[in-house]
Amino acid sequence: MGIKTGADYINRIKSRKPEVWLGGRVIEDIHNEPIFKQPIQEIAKLYDIQHDPEYQDDITHICNETGERVNNAFLFPKTAEDLQKRSKLFEVYARMTYGLMGRTPDFLNVVITSMAHNSWFLDQYNKDWSKNIHDYYTYIRDNDLFLTHAIINPQNDRSKQSHEQKEIYTHLGTVEEKEEGILVRGAKMLATLAPITDEVIIYSFPGFLPGDERHAVAFALPIDTPGLRIICREPMQDGTRSIFDHPLASRYEEMDALLVFNDVLVPWDRVFLYNNVEAANRLYPMTGIAEQPAHQSGVRGYIKLAFAVEVACKVADSIGVDGFLHVQRDLGELVQSVEVIRSLLRVAEYEYAINEYGEARPNPDALETIRGFLPEMYPRAIEIIQTIGAGGLLMSPTEADFNNPELRVDIDKYYGGRSGVTAEERVRVFKLAWDLCGEAFGQRLLQYERYYTGDPVRKRAIYYNKYKKNKNKNVSMVDEVLNNPKHVAIDVVNQ
Ligand SMILES: Cc1cc2nc3c(=O)[nH]c(=O)nc-3n(C[C@H](O)[C@H](O)[C@H](O)COP(=O)(O)OP(=O)(O)OC[C@H]3O[C@@H](n4cnc5c(N)ncnc54)[C@H](O)[C@@H]3O)c2cc1C
Ligand SMILES: O=C(O)Cc1ccc(O)c(O)c1
């Protein structure tokens, strides 16, 4: 067992019956639901290219343990070469989806790999937990499964801890221990792509306090486990819009969902952490599940930013405005922002460190800096597309208009771009741009970039506080220039 095909993935979707709610109804046939059809095809492509000689060596390897070919997301990174192999996988998957799908299978498969690789951490608390994550890693690696995750509590009252919410099981928590496992109840968000995945893993960002014990759990389950209800947000498209009119929104929408656990049984062998506030708070910082997937996020974000920047340049060129100085200034800024992220990724990959457990981790400062700046650079790219495209972004005729011969003459005349750019060429670029910068689809992509890795405000504050702590340990240049006699300047004024 090892790499699977797109058809294998689609067959798994067909055989599962998760309880998915969308627009007030239960979706009986996920595979044939128009809203999910195209995204399923996009994920299937990622499975298929594992078998394509053009990509295979870049994104898969032979597993030492089984001798089977498996995806590079399952590699325990021990060397710089391993990090490069992973980076190549992230880049190939991101290029296939233009960085617009954030939670392709590589993301969570890297999370699971990282947890399993660092199972020494769980060992300190409970040997069963570390065995469970190892077995789970082997299971998803060998069956090449696709996961979603939900690590945030629903936004009820953020001024209170989980155990202080109005009702005790608003945030997901353990109800009781059973012979077969633990019974869990309550909700967790925001599970991207949940309806079209195989499994879900639950863990949490740190933030538990004493009293939150019942909420301090981590586990994984099949997505169609009885009692697990998936409530989808309103779709950004209806699944019937044409690729001509919505070249991106018609293909790359990632559904997001709230997960409600109605007394769901988690078998003991799927429990990775339970009833332990300290372990739950340390899981994220200690098991590499911040840095390793942040490498994926960084590469994917780089491709998405580069794509948006190319769209901005094409919009400007197609209507002949890129000769104006202020437009060149804005486009130059965007091209440089792509270079900043590309350079940070190189630092992350080349200035890696091997920890005492033999795991290679990309440079965390470079990754954290990407996390800090992408949520500013990507919205800026979108804003620049909006200001360069201006009114024209709203004025594109539809595919049906193009197909009507009575209108076509006017369309060809009045919708053409600068010399050499036909009406169809210009309109197609503008429709692409509108999907990114105007449509609800594009607004979600923006929101994703701001929040996929947590609240950017608190992330920056945490980073600053870490810097301050380390800075105090090192020699301060300011103290040195003021106090070190070797560096004190001769006081020429008073001499
Ligand atoms: C499109 C999209 C897809 C996502 N996909 C996933 C996914 O697949 N899986 C997953 O688990 N998560 C996913 N996330 C969720 C993501 O992890 C959260 O959005 C993120 O952690 C922020 O949490 P929140 O949205 O609950 O915002 P909140 O934490 O509620 O923040 C709301 C506002 O209040 C402020 N605030 C709240 N609490 C505090 C505090 N204690 N101190 C100071 N300020 C505070 C914040 O600064 C912010 O301005 C996704 C998010 C988006 C937007
Ligand atoms: O922080 C990152 O950039 C990567 C990331 C995002 C969301 C997660 O759930 C996670 O474990 C890691």
pLDDT in tens, 332-381: 999 999 999 999 999 999 999 999 999 999 999 999 999 999 999 999 99
Residue in this structure with the two tokens 């911040």, named with its chain if needed: 290
pLDDT higher than 80, residue 39:
yes
- Tell me the mean pLDDT in the region 158-183: 97
Could you please state the CATH topology (level 3) that the domain comprising 291-470 is classified under. Answer: Butyryl-CoA Dehydrogenase, subunit A; domain 3 (1.20.140)
pLDDT higher than 70, residue 183:
yes
- Tell me the mean pLDDT in the region 179-183: 98
Residue of the CA atom closest to atom 4 of ligand 2: 294
- Cβ atoms within 10 Å of 482's Cβ, excluding its own: 10
Q: What is the pLDDT of residue 471?
A: 75
- Tell me the mean pLDDT in the region 316-323: 98
- Tell me the mean pLDDT in the region 150-179: 96
Q: What is the pLDDT of residue 78?
A: 96
pLDDT higher than 70, residue 398:
yes
CA triple 278-118-463, angle to 5 deg:
60
Q: Is 457 marked within a binding site?
A: yes
* 299 touches ligand 2 (CB under 6 Å): no
Burial of 102 (0-12, 13-18, 19+ CB in 10 A): buried
- Tell me the mean pLDDT in the region 438-457: 96
Q: What is the pLDDT of residue 55?
A: 98
Distance CA 252, CA 200 (A): 21
Q: Is 192 marked within a binding site?
A: yes
Residue of the CA atom closest to atom 1 of ligand 2: 453
Q: Which atom of ligand 1 is nearest to the CA of 207?
A: 41
pLDDT tens digit sequence for 448-494: 999 999 999 999 999 999 998 887 777 788 888 888 777 666 666 66
Question: Is there a contact between 144 and 3 (Cβ–Cβ < 8 Å)?
Answer: yes
Question: Is there a contact between 151 and 260 (Cβ–Cβ < 8 Å)?
Answer: no
CA of 446 to the centre of ligand 1 (A): 14
| Ligand closest to CA 293 | 2
ipTM over 0.95: yes
CA of 411 to the centre of ligand 1 (A): 44
pLDDT tens digit sequence for 235-293: 998 888 999 999 999 999 999 999 999 999 999 999 999 999 999 999 999 999 999 99
pLDDT higher than 80, residue 18:
yes
| Ligand closest to CA 450 | 1
Confidence of residue 411 (pLDDT cuts 50, 70, 90): very high
Confidence of residue 434 (pLDDT cuts 50, 70, 90): very high
Confidence of residue 415 (pLDDT cuts 50, 70, 90): very high
Distance CA 454, CA 450 (A): 8
Q: What is the mean pLDDT of the chain?
A: 96
Q: What is the pLDDT of residue 272?
A: 98
Q: Is 382 marked within a binding site?
A: no
Q: What is the pLDDT of residue 107?
A: 98
pLDDT tens digit sequence for 187-232: 999 999 999 999 999 999 999 999 999 999 999 999 999 999 999 9
Superfamily of domain 6-286: Butyryl-CoA Dehydrogenase, subunit A, domain 2 (2.40.110.10)
Q: Is 346 marked within a binding site?
A: no
Q: Is 70 marked within a binding site?
A: no
* 369 touches ligand 2 (CB under 6 Å): no
Spell out the domain ranges in the chain: 6-286, 291-470
pLDDT higher than 80, residue 321:
yes
* 293 touches ligand 2 (CB under 6 Å): yes
Q: What is the pLDDT of residue 487?
A: 67
